[in-house]
Structure 1
């Protein structure tokens, strides 16, 4: 059974206190180190001590750490050394193995673009501002703290970009992993330290990190169940509920395959997946076409190369989702994928449990039209064109299918919609150079009037 260490600075830490992590069959896969409060306190002290030092490192050297770490990860992947870790991630999260491997590759690619990702967030696109605080203005741009803790969900490997951006902003970063995936972050922490990152710039702990929440100057937390902290100390992220809007009765035939791919990216576990489709015309016809495209993705064993559908290691979650959807169907919704397929809603393969990818024809008032589920799922509803902005409120992305700039403009004015992609770019998906619920640097830094301005 593998032992998964914490990282206290550049040192791996295997504690006597640990938690067992099991796979689908209940067999323990790994022992996860659970550092105590004193050890967590040491990590915070390390981070505080190195905070000033890493702002003194020249840009070429600093971003070179990320480039060399990407080299390390790609070399390890090519040699097959990451296969056991990828298999463990697959077994504990339910993600198909090939998707895990592609996700790790994508994170390494993001690390090679880290200057571009950070440049768009800096004042006047001046990447040196992270280091100097100088912005050619009557104010300085300075860190809002010395340390930042980032809680990382286990939905998909590419979510590692959140803490990587925090680190790239020259902020010592305390990483708290998810319960189901304590593995992925460690791949990149190890690679960064191998690349020469200064000791203490990153630490990583699993399990309870209430000490970090209390001591970190700032906290970045996914989802809606964040700790209660002062607004200046807390940034929440990873809200999804992304939607698409269809205004044409006869869209390009490729639309349905493109929408299905958008729903299946990241095995349906990305905040950018299309979780609802608002149709101003014939919603049933649209749902039928989308269901046909969904049914082209079979449920396969997680180890098969073509697998796209995730499994559910947590059967309690699986059956809670089943009950939620069954209640909706009992209230009048139609399972369009079930209508055109003989595949049962719950699929068992080799001891793993899956939910068949689902297109549900429902109403815009349904709670399922305004949520996201952790598998390929899209709720389709008829929506009056005059209230599209209200129906699509509280969405990370709204994708407007077809040439409708006036509608895209109206949706863009809705404050709770973060991004609007339209026309041929409706399925553009996530790019880390985009503002994603704002830019992370806007939280990590603050403008300060310092007159006369001194060097920082």
Structure 2
């Protein structure tokens, strides 16, 4: 049985000898193993990154960008191979995996604009014979810790931009589905990235803590659950590191009485049940303004949930695959149990779902609750599974208050034909990413991704312009060249341009 290794200084190594099983979620079988880094292995990656940094930071941005252009081409050429690896280890459908790769490639495209995004600001004659400018310089060695649900896309949110900014990057991906992440990193080396600039270390909490505690690591990017995001932010910042830690979500879709219901139902189906609900931008609550729209939604969506095509994600033409682990499946089933016990109306029950020939796979069917209230755990908690809850309210203001009162503020959307309602919603909702008739308002690569409240710890969002600012530090330079043979008396008042 093969073991997925670390990638350090351009070489595959197994490190400490500790391993963890990698499963095929469609069958429940162990498909391989992954090496788990100890502190010595993490330090090895840090040391080679530190050694590679001086030469890489002095590499012209245009040459860094050329590496990214070649990387983009290799990703496109290997898309089918990468998607198959993602589907086999994560469980998502092959089409969903391909979409993930495409969104990751968009961030590589943005990183390819390094000469443009790294241009400083220049002001001439801010004072007598004085010019001023700002320069954006790399931090040094930086690291990213990424989740299982997007093993290709989320790392591509981080290291392409960090690297073109002149940093060296250490990636600690999820140990649950490591193969695609390793392959993509090796493609970047094939594109011409110097050894040591990017390393991949697999691992558990030992590897995470080693990155947090290492003084050489100047910044940490994280995507995952809120408790871990808060831990990494707290532990990293108290050691003087720059940290962006993206946490959990409970994303609401508001359905107004005038919504285009057919399109809203189609949008909700994909947003709630795509990738088995294992997305931080998944819609898990439909807030219906009035019983009429709620009843109409139930009538239309129940048959579609029951008709979901579910199977092994590596087969084409499916809507959903399995959840990533048996523990994840059991956790979601437990939430369904809790919702029934709390008195919510279970309209479609996904528990006990089985796929012929894959009876040991980690499958659940799509699940729908109605009459959910805001004190129920199926409403308050991030379930991270194929469960949609319907909450009924009397007005848009009540819907907005419900959303604003929630601890998470990652994404939300509204379905309406009313421009005034949409504008009010966009202005007043306390959420970082908002859609109008768009169920998954994930910003494109040249904007930035991030939530509010307990969905994000740190001041800067991921990728895009915020990503550039996160992975660089501004240096302001003020320069004067006095005219020859000129002499000025000493000035004891605070200098100004007056």
TM range (shorter): 0.7 to 0.9
CA root-mean-square deviation: 2.9
Which secondary structure does the structure 1 equivalent of 2:283 belong to?
coil
User: Which of 149, 157, 165 is the equivalent residue of 1:169?
Assistant: 165
Runs of at least 5 residues in structure 2 that lack an aligned partner in the other structure = 124-131, 451-460, 482-498
1:452–1:329: structure 2 CA closer, same or farther, 3 Å change rule? farther
Q: 1:194/1:258 Cα in 2 relative to 1: closer, same or farther (>3 Å)?
A: same
Match for residue 348 of structure 1 among 348, 354, 370: 354
Flag the 1:363–1:435 CA change in 2: closer, same or farther, 3 A. Answer: same
Equivalent residue, structure 2, for 1:44 = 46
* TM-score (ref. length: structure 2): 0.78
Counterpart of 1:127 (choices 117, 124, 133) is: 117
* Aligned pairs (5 A) from 1:432-447: 432-437=445-450, 438=461, 439-447=466-474
SS in structure 1 at match of 2:354: strand
Please name the residue that 1:160 is paired with: 155
What CA deviation, in whole Å up to 9, does each residue of 1:13-42 have, x standing for no partner?
123513142425564422322343233222
Decide whether the 8 Å contact of 2:252 with 2:283 is kept in 1.
yes
Count of equivalent residues: 432
Question: Aligned equivalents of 2:18 and 2:251: distance in 1?
Answer: 37
In the TM superposition, 1:231-380 aligns within 5 A as 232-248=241-257, 251-282=260-291, 283-338=294-349, 345-349=351-355, 350=358, 351-361=360-370, 362-380=372-390
Q: Which residue of 2 aligns with 1:180?
A: 176
Q: Secondary structure at the match of 1:356?
A: coil
Q: Which of 182, 194, 201 is matched with 2:197 structurally? A: 201
The match for 1:341 is none
Distance 1:355 1:95 in 2: 13
| C-alpha distance in 2 between matches for 1:370 and 1:177 | 28
Name the CA shift for 1:407/1:435 in 2 (closer, same or farther; >3 Å): farther
How far apart are 1:405 and its partner, in Å?
3.7
How far apart are the structure 1 equivalents of 2:49 and 2:283? 38
- Provide closer, same or farther for how the CA distance between residues 313 and 142 of structure 1 changes in structure 2, counting only shifts above 3 A: closer
Report the CA distance between 1:427 and its aligned residue. 5.1
Identify if the C-alpha distance between structure 1 residues 6 and 238 changes in structure 2 by more than 3 Å, giving closer, same or farther: same
Name the CA shift for 1:313/1:428 in 2 (closer, same or farther; >3 Å).
closer
Q: How far did residue 195 of structure 1 move?
A: 0.8
Residue 217 of structure 1: aligned partner: 218
Which of 1 and 2 has greater Rg?
A: 2
Helix, strand or coil: the match of 1:352? coil
Distance, in Å, in 2 between the alignment partners of 1:249 and 1:412 is 17
Deviates further, 208-217 or 148-157: 208-217
Q: What is the aligned counterpart of 1:32 among 31, 34, 39?
A: 34
Q: Runs of 5+ in structure 1 lacking a partner? A: 120-125, 339-343
After superposing the two structures, state which structure 1 stretch, 195-204 or 253-262, moved more: 253-262
Deviation at 1:268, TM superposition (A): 2.4
Equivalent residue, structure 1, for 2:237: 230
Once the 2 structures are TM-superposed, how far is the Cα of residue 193 of structure 1 from its aligned partner? 0.5
Q: Deviations over 1:87-111 (max 9, x none)?
A: 5543432323443344335434542
Within a 5 Å distance, the mapping from 1:397-416 to structure 2 comes to: 397-414=411-428, 416=430
Could you tell me how far 1:189 is from its partner in structure 2?
0.9
Contact 2:138 2:166 in 1 (8 A): no
The structural deviation recorded for 1:59 is: 3.3
Counterpart of 2:456 in structure 1 is: none
Query: 1-side partners of 2:70 and 2:334: how far apart?
Result: 48
Q: 1:75 aligns with which of 74, 77, 92?
A: 77
Deviations for 1:119-175, whole angstroms, at most 9, x for unmatched residues?
A: 9xxxxxx4233xxxx222556354473121100101023222222333343321110
